Amino acid sequence: RLKDLEVAELGDSDVHVKMLAAPINPADINMIQGTYAILSPLPAVGGNEGVGEVLEVGRRVAALKPGDWVIPAGSGLGTWRTQGVFPEETLLKVPRDIPVLCAATLSVNPCTAYRMLTDFETLAPGDSVIQNAANSGVGQAVIQIAKAFGIKTINVVRDRPDLPKLVERLMALGADHVITEEMLRKPEMKDIFKSIPKPRLALNCVGGKSTTEMLRHLQPKGTMVTYGGMAKQPVMVPVSAFIFRDVRLRGFWMMQWRKDHAQERESLAGMMDALCQLIRRGQLAAPACTQVPLQDYKAALEASMKPFTSSKQILLL
């Protein structure tokens, strides 16, 4: 429900923020449904991501000033609101010279894509990555960041009525190959590997059959990282892939990475800086977005849960 609440009083270490824009991500929906690994104490404000402008700061706040742009440093901030008062340590400053939609969608999907491309395999220009759900927010970020790093991408999507349009859009972002899940099983896959090497890294956010098919194309000793389970089916792995090809299966959760690196401000700052540089150079754009005024939040929530969505709903606050 949309409710009017009193803005909390500003404490000495607090920051009063006017929210500008906040996306609806799958994890936000899962938190509301009560199925996510982290649940906010109720009553709660939804939204884990977004960008706001600082209106006022408490007298002990040193790193932020009115006019600065901020994004959540962790999860559970409750970004689907027009204003809020937050402790300084829950916010991260971001540059104001990047587009507002890039800032609003910076802290979850691009960070997830960046970490998965850099933390699990040492990839060099010319290497390749395969991913499913390539039209998701993370998938779009993976395509663009990999392109900037000189890494080739094989992008798997579900077959759909407007497939040619989706293929065109992903190719425009820098995808090297866009294929359907059915194609993973076909001999034509051999043609792809005539021009690029087999991937050392697979990124999985679907599970089920899609995972098993992707694994078949992974190099021996390659790594598959699972960061989502859209099919709500387990990851199935043939025994032969473990024994004869020694593949590694890993998991990744951005919230956990933030917790593990909470004391290392420089590693977080380094990642944010690298992503903002890519945005400034035009190498990383916000995902395809539909901008919705806050009062139309019900329509935005419904649209975000429809199948084959390729556009992220962004609440304008």
Q: What is the chain's pLDDT, residue by residue, as a tens digit (317 residues)?
A: 999 999 999 999 999 999 999 999 989 999 999 999 888 899 999 999 999 999 999 999 999 999 999 999 888 899 999 999 999 999 999 999 999 999 999 999 999 999 999 999 999 999 999 999 999 999 999 999 999 999 999 999 999 988 999 999 999 999 999 999 999 999 989 999 999 999 999 999 999 999 999 999 999 999 999 999 988 899 999 999 999 999 999 999 999 999 899 888 888 889 999 999 999 999 999 998 999 999 999 999 999 998 777 789 999 99
160 and 90 belong to one structural domain: no
Number of domains in the chain: 2
133 and 226 belong to one structural domain: yes
Whether 82 is in a domain gets the answer yes
Angstrom distance (rounded) from CA 285 to CA 260: 28
Angstrom distance (rounded) from CA 253 to CA 124: 24
Domain residues for 128?
Answer: 109-254
What dihedral do alpha carbons 187, 193, 198, 201 form, nearest 10°? -90
What predicted TM-score, i.e. pTM, was given to this entire model?
A: 0.94
Whether 141 is in a domain gets the answer yes
Whether 260 is in a domain gets the answer no
- Give the catalytic positions in this structure: 36
Angstrom distance (rounded) from CA 154 to CA 130: 5
